């Protein structure tokens, strides 16, 4: 194999390896936990430069949890049905039922779990930095 071909093969191998590693990282961050589903209803620009709105329904099957994570902006939530246990770093855990609301400040590590026996649904509105992942998983304690 001549020198030019070796260099090309090595470059292709490096690019392929980096692409696979990045794809794995993105898949791991954006993957949803079993029994939890986030359904985006709308997403759009805001009048605040660099920010966007994402509105979604979060569905939790009984026993399902999101996993400890953060958002690059605020999360405003309204429990539509069922009950969730909301854990926020620096605050006591709270159990929220239908009709209850919550606010998660930007960058706050938090988790929600359906400890009930029926599905829980939350209307979640995020005001986040454009171009960043909506949620980033955080390693457990």
- Reported as a single tens digit per residue, the pLDDT across 36-81 is 999 999 999 999 999 999 999 999 999 999 999 999 999 999 999 9
Domain count, the chain: 2
Query: Based on the domain organization, do 68 and 4 belong to the same domain?
Result: no
Q: What is the mean pLDDT of the chain?
A: 85
For 79-108, how does the pLDDT look when each residue is reduced to its tens digit (9 = 90+)?
999 999 999 999 999 999 999 999 999 999
Residues 39 and 73 in one domain: yes
73 and 16 together in one domain:
no
Domain that holds residue 62: 34-137
Same domain, 22 and 41: no
CATH number of the domain bearing residue 117: 2.60.120.10
Same domain for 80 and 23? no
pTM: predicted TM-score of the whole model, two decimal places: 0.76
* 30-37 contacts, C-beta under 8 A, 24 or more apart: 30/133, 30/135, 33/64, 33/65, 33/66, 33/67, 34/64, 35/60, 35/61, 35/62, 35/63, 35/64, 35/65, 35/114, 36/60, 36/61, 36/64, 36/65, 36/66
């Amino acid at each position: 194999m001549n020198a030019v071909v070796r260099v090309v093969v090595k470059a292709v191998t490096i690019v392929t390896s980096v692409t696979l590693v990045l794809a794995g990282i993105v898949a791991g961050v954006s993957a949803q936990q079993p029994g939890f589903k986030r359904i985006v209803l709308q997403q759009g620009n805001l009048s605040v430069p660099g920010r966007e709105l994402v509105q979604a329904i979060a569905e939790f099957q009984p026993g399902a949890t999101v996993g400890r994570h953060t958002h690059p902006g605020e999360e405003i939530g309204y429990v539509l049905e069922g009950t969730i246990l909301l854990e926020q770093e620096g605050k006591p855990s709270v159990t929220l039922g239908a009709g209850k609301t919550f606010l998660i400040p930007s960058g706050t590590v938090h988790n929600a779990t359906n400890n009930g026996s029926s599905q829980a649904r939350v209307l979640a509105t995020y005001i986040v930095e454009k171009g960043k992942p909506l949620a980033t998983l955080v390693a457990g304690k």
